[in-house]
Chain A
Amino acid sequence: MTVSALDAALPQRRAGPWTIVRLGLRELRNGFDGFRIFIACLALGVMVIAAVGALADALRAGLVTQGEVILGGDVMFARAHVRATPAEREVFERLGQVSETATLRTMARRVDGSDQALAELKGADSAYPLAGEVTLKSSGSFAQAIAGDGAVADAMLLERLGLKVGDKMRIGETEVTVGGILDSEPDAVADRMTYGPRIFVSLATLEKTGLDKPGTLIRWRYVVDLPDTAASSKQALADLRAQVARELPDGGFSSGDRFDPSPQITRVLERLRQFLILIGLASLLVGGVGIANAVSTFIDKRMKVIATLRSVGASGSQIMGIFLVQLAVMTAIGIAIGLALGVAAPSLIDALYGDLLPVRVDIEVSPQSLGIAALYGALISLLFALWPLGRAENVKASVLFRDSVNSPGGRPRPMLIGIMAALAALLVGVAVATSEPRSIALWVIAGLVVMLAVFGWLGGYLSRLAGRLPRPKRPGLALALRNIASPDGLTRSVLLSLGTGLSLLVAVGLANSSLVADLQERLPEEAPDYFLLDIPPADFDGLKDRMLQHVPGASLVEAPMLRGRIVALKGKPVEEMTFTPDTQWVMNSDRGLTYSETVPEGSTVSAGTWWAKDYNGPPLVSFEGEIAKKLGLGLGDSLTVNVLGRNIEAKVASLRDVKWESIALNFIMVFSPNTLKAAPHNLLATVRLPPGRASGAESEMVRDLGRVYPSVSAIRVRDAIDQFSKIFAKVMVAVQVAGSVTLTAGALVLAGALVTAQRRRILEAVILKTIGARRRQILEVHAWEYALLALIAALVAIVLGSAVAWVAVTRVMELEYVFSLRSVGFSLGVAAAMIAVFGGCGTWAILRARPAPYLRSE
């Protein structure tokens, strides 16, 4: 035999891809054995993401289809302070039928002045509402109820003031008769977020109140019903709005249309969608551990088959291909189940909590939402399955000859590791690209990866440590430590699944308690006691004196207050510019403006210089630094605002850091006094009352001010904080429910790991029984093992969760971090409960197992 003959070419012909697909599908005859947890983990995460997307779609669709009713018509134009002039009104009327309303905040009082309450007054013309209807809880129609001096009021307000239909109440300088009790208002959502209960009156009655004075914070709103609503496309309405803006260049009207009737709600929905998708992604990542475990177990079970394939000539890539086909099918099933459940979510949520939603949902799911959920599912499945799958290539045919079969070790080949890295990069890329601000997605993913890495490492370390510890005298504990030390034991799975889920729970719990502490303790201490709105400048001194008579030592800080809309930046109309979601809100509507000789309290100048006290040059403005940065606005740039129907161009003279959380008189824009001083305006003031004031003095002061200064509205800050706290508590419950999805994913992973280990554990228990161990002794082994693992997972979760909460509270929310033993205790309780339920079920089955069948089958 010659040397050249020794290395003759090997046969090159190989099966095509379809043959591999066929072989893979043939292997699926094995059924779902071992893939149930895989499918459940995947379906759960996909379901959350799909449900979030579907709900957002449904709400968005609801906003569009009910847009006309929510907006009150097809197109809307609004402006603060100044009513539309006849010429401006004519421009609107040329488009179609117009309805005019005016909204302002005021105090409603009992006629005898004995009590008063803050209210949102809305004056409506006879055409209102152009779309939808105002319904009453009382008898009669809305039009009849507000006719003459009639008013329709919220039931809560009437209850607060002890009034009923037919009674009179005082608003400003006039008395109105309660003609009806409000049930629903069609355009309540679009007509900005209302603060107090609503009172409807006619525009004629509004005029009689005397509240509509120059400088009053009143919002005039003009809704147009186009003659051919159906024919007006989104673009047509946008063009119409642009046309009006061109016709009324100095009008300063903000506008909207029925396709996005409430940009505020759209923005909140978008934020909520992004946040909940990150929660879904977190549960998918935790579920990824279950996916990896399931594939690893599956490959272990199929080792003999893989070796057989090897022995009959299959190459590594052919084996990989065959199992990849199965994985793809299981992934498709998991994703399909997740999508189906996710799509059903809006109907379920609508049925259960429809009343709490801002708009009625319309079941319309976009392919994009489903696509993103499916893409995340596929990426996570591949990412976590490729490593154990890649090791299948390392299985040697020689395992067919050996009795003991160990898991295939080693790393997958470099190309597969490269593919996994690319998948991870794609996953992070998609998450970051679809989030706003992007850094949040990046932080969330980085945090989750760190958590998975920490618990993965800890699992391995604990296993090794338990193996090195001296054998305890107590047999139950000794056997438990041996179980923890076992390389194919539960240590790593329990720590990963329980630890990651608990860490998130601790983080959410601690962030919540810090926020609650801030709302309930710090804010009431630091915040002023009252905000006074719409104080005519001429009345300020008198009002101050009167207040001090009632409550000596009270302090008032006042600031001029106007509302205006930014119409151009650096000379370019804002309509022609695009903004990111976190700056769009500044442009959507009018903003509060003020002027000041000195830097306002709670602000510091971060760039530029403040104007001199007697500055009398061209208009200057000081802008809030962070928003200016996002808008690309720098020192010396020009800014045009429309105030009272007049465009004012000012140069940015300085940028300020504003301490928003101080609840002081903070404004995004502060102008040099000469810019706005001449414009009619009122004052806004904060009131701080001295501690230890006489009881009753405060309420008497408010009643007296109401009587003497009927146009001034007083907002009690404590009430506002309480109201916010209630809303916040509901939001936090929703966040915790969403966060618990991650814990559910952890529970699935834990269940999967226990199921995988169950047969081996039963066999161990059976052997222990045959050599004389009693049930109590076997139970003791399991109890020690589970208790130790749960305790360690919970302790590390408390440390990691606290760290995450600390970063979120002190760096993102910029609040004081408060450690809550209650939150931590709750997490420990959840850990104990989860391990008791899952471990307990497993141990119960183990204790009940009859030895004979297991011994025979071995």
Chain B
Amino acid sequence: MSDPIIKLDNVHLSLTSRAGSVHILRGVSLAIPRGQTAAIVGPSGSGKTSLLMTMAGLERATSGEIVVSGRRIGPLSEDELAALRGAEMGIVFQSFHLVPTMTALENVALPMELAGDDRAFETARGLLDEVGLAARVDHFPAELSGGEQQRVALARALCRSPEIIFADEPTGNLDGRTGRQIIDLLFGLRQRRKATLVIVTHDDKLAAMADRVIRMADGSIVSDESTAAVLQAVSS
């Protein structure tokens, strides 16, 4: 196996609320090789989204070590993490999270603009064309359907050619047909860019499209197998 692009070693995550401390991740260790597609599955509250957030540096692990693209992210400041995400990660959310005051084109160009890329709008236009929204570039999020908004979010996630794509239930807010179109697009785009994809999902069919399925329960990984192995186990 090549060097892992994401590596977690005994990662714990506790969050404090008014009711007290909640232990969300309990000693997770994991390595995801470059170019792999990995699906994280499990029941609600099992810690799937928290695991994804911790890998993307959106949540800080309480203990343990996380290495992404050759960098230990634990010691990085918020700004350094933001810079790392901007350069090497693309994130797709269940609720799209487009900036409502910006057009589709501006939303896609945003990460490149923040990075000082002079060709931001040119690249963004190309990406919107690639996701089939060439005719909708000047529309605001409120003027787009849910599927179209998620396409814009996909284009935004891929605009800086990230090595890793994190997707948190990208079809959760979409109907079945639109959801399948988005998944096909996501996997197709990833394939063309040879990027690593980590996807959180409740959808078994979607999980089956990944190289690997990581199953969570109560903050721990309870199984971690290649999809082939899972399918084989199911068929036998």
- Verify if B212 is at the interface (C-beta below 8 Å from A): no
Given A15-B116, A29-B101, A311:B91 Cβ within 8 A: yes
A10 near B83: Cβ-Cβ < 8 Å: yes
A1 near B116: Cβ-Cβ < 8 Å: no
A313 near B115: Cβ-Cβ < 8 Å: yes
Given A5-B70, A10-B71, A16:B58 Cβ within 8 A: no
Residues of A within 8 A of B95 (CB): 400
18 extra interchain contacts, Cβ-Cβ under 8 A, other than A10-B80, A12-B83, A313-B82? A1-B70, A8-B70, A10-B76, A10-B83, A11-B83, A14-B115, A14-B116, A16-B116, A23-B113, A26-B101, A308-B97, A309-B114, A311-B56, A312-B114, A313-B86, A315-B79, A315-B82, A316-B79
- Verify if A718 is at the interface (C-beta below 8 Å from B): no
- Verify if A613 is at the interface (C-beta below 8 Å from B): no
A26 near B102: Cβ-Cβ < 8 Å: yes
Q: How far is the CA of A28 from the CA of B86 in the complex (A)?
A: 24
- Verify if B194 is at the interface (C-beta below 8 Å from A): no
Interface residues on A, range: 35 or more
Interface 1/0s, chain B 29-41, versus A by CB < 8 A? 0000000000000
**Chain A contact surface mostly:** helix
A8 near B58: Cβ-Cβ < 8 Å: no
- Verify if B225 is at the interface (C-beta below 8 Å from A): no
A13 near B58: Cβ-Cβ < 8 Å: no
Residues of A within 8 A of B117 (CB): 13
- Verify if A396 is at the interface (C-beta below 8 Å from B): yes
B67 near A8: Cβ-Cβ < 8 Å: no
A11 near B86: Cβ-Cβ < 8 Å: yes
- Verify if B85 is at the interface (C-beta below 8 Å from A): yes
Residues of B within 8 A of A28 (CB): 101
- Verify if B139 is at the interface (C-beta below 8 Å from A): no
Our pick among B67, B70, B79, B99 for the contact of A308 (Cβ within 8 Å) is B99
Cβ-closest 8 pairs across A and B: A313-B86, A312-B111, A315-B79, A29-B101, A11-B87, A397-B58, A398-B58, A308-B97
Residues of B within 8 A of A22 (CB): 113
Residues of B within 8 A of A11 (CB): 83-84, 86-87, 115
- Verify if B193 is at the interface (C-beta below 8 Å from A): no
Q: How far is the CA of A22 from the CA of B4 in the complex (A)?
A: 39
Q: How far is the CA of A609 from the CA of B56 in the complex (A)?
A: 86
Our pick among B7, B58, B71, B160 for the contact of A311 (Cβ within 8 Å) is B58
- Verify if B53 is at the interface (C-beta below 8 Å from A): yes
A303 CB to nearest B CB, Å: 11
B58 near A10: Cβ-Cβ < 8 Å: no
Interface residues on B, range: 35 or more
A398 near B114: Cβ-Cβ < 8 Å: no
Given A16-B116, A26-B102, A398-B58, A304:B97 Cβ within 8 A: yes
Interface 1/0s, chain B 58-84, versus A by CB < 8 A? 110000000100111000101110111
B91 near A6: Cβ-Cβ < 8 Å: no
Q: How far is the CA of A16 from the CA of B87 in the complex (A)?
A: 17
Closest-by-CB residue of A relative to B5 is: A1
- Verify if B110 is at the interface (C-beta below 8 Å from A): yes
Closest-by-CB residue of B relative to A30 is: B101
- Verify if B100 is at the interface (C-beta below 8 Å from A): yes
Q: How far is the CA of A617 from the CA of B85 in the complex (A)?
A: 93
CB within 8 Å: A-B pair count? 119
Interface 1/0s, chain A 379-407, versus B by CB < 8 A? 00000000000000000111011000000
Q: How far is the CA of A630 from the CA of B183 in the complex (A)?
A: 84
A312 near B110: Cβ-Cβ < 8 Å: yes
Q: How far is the CA of A30 from the CA of B84 in the complex (A)?
A: 29
- Verify if A716 is at the interface (C-beta below 8 Å from B): no
Tell me the residues in window 15-66 of chain B with beta carbons closer than 8 Å to chain A beta carbons: 49, 53, 56, 58-59
Interface 1/0s, chain B 103-124, versus A by CB < 8 A? 0001000110111110000000
Q: How far is the CA of A522 from the CA of B72 in the complex (A)?
A: 81
A10 near B84: Cβ-Cβ < 8 Å: yes
Interface 1/0s, chain A 1-42, versus B by CB < 8 A? 100011110111111100100110011111000000000000
Q: How far is the CA of A1 from the CA of B70 in the complex (A)?
A: 7
For B3, B84, B87, B113, the residue with the greatest tally of chain A CB atoms inside 10 Å of its CB is: B113
A19 near B116: Cβ-Cβ < 8 Å: yes
Residues of B within 8 A of A16 (CB): 116
Q: How far is the CA of A19 from the CA of B121 in the complex (A)?
A: 12
B83 CB to nearest A CB, Å: 5
- Verify if A360 is at the interface (C-beta below 8 Å from B): no
B99 near A10: Cβ-Cβ < 8 Å: no
A571 CB to nearest B CB, Å: 68
B71 near A312: Cβ-Cβ < 8 Å: no
Q: How far is the CA of A311 from the CA of B165 in the complex (A)?
A: 12
Our pick among A311, A315, A398 for the contact of B83 (Cβ within 8 Å) is A315
Closest-by-CB residue of A relative to B83 is: A10
- Verify if B12 is at the interface (C-beta below 8 Å from A): no
Q: How far is the CA of A398 from the CA of B82 in the complex (A)?
A: 12
Q: How far is the CA of A310 from the CA of B85 in the complex (A)?
A: 9
Q: How far is the CA of A562 from the CA of B37 in the complex (A)?
A: 105
Closest-by-CB residue of B relative to A4 is: B70
Residues of A within 8 A of B116 (CB): 13-16, 19
B86 near A312: Cβ-Cβ < 8 Å: yes
For A15, A309, A316, the residue with the greatest tally of chain B CB atoms inside 10 Å of its CB is: A15
Residues of B within 8 A of A6 (CB): 67, 70-72
A10 near B87: Cβ-Cβ < 8 Å: yes
Residues of A within 8 A of B160 (CB): 313
A306 CB to nearest B CB, Å: 10
Residues of B within 8 A of A304 (CB): 97
- Verify if B168 is at the interface (C-beta below 8 Å from A): yes
Closest-by-CB residue of B relative to A19 is: B113
Residues of B within 8 A of A398 (CB): 53, 58-59
Residues of A within 8 A of B113 (CB): 15, 19, 22-23
A15 near B86: Cβ-Cβ < 8 Å: no
Q: How far is the CA of A266 from the CA of B76 in the complex (A)?
A: 63
- Verify if A717 is at the interface (C-beta below 8 Å from B): no
Closest-by-CB residue of A relative to B94 is: A401
Closest-by-CB residue of A relative to B76 is: A10
Q: How far is the CA of A492 from the CA of B102 in the complex (A)?
A: 35
Give 5 pairs: A residue, B residue, CB < 8 Å, sorted on A.
A26-B101, A311-B85, A311-B93, A312-B156, A401-B93
Given A26-B101, A29-B101, A396:B86 Cβ within 8 A: no
- Verify if A188 is at the interface (C-beta below 8 Å from B): no
Q: How far is the CA of A28 from the CA of B102 in the complex (A)?
A: 10
A169 CB to nearest B CB, Å: 81
Given A14-B116, A15-B114, A310:B70 Cβ within 8 A: no
Given A304-B97, A305-B100, A308-B99, A313:B70 Cβ within 8 A: no
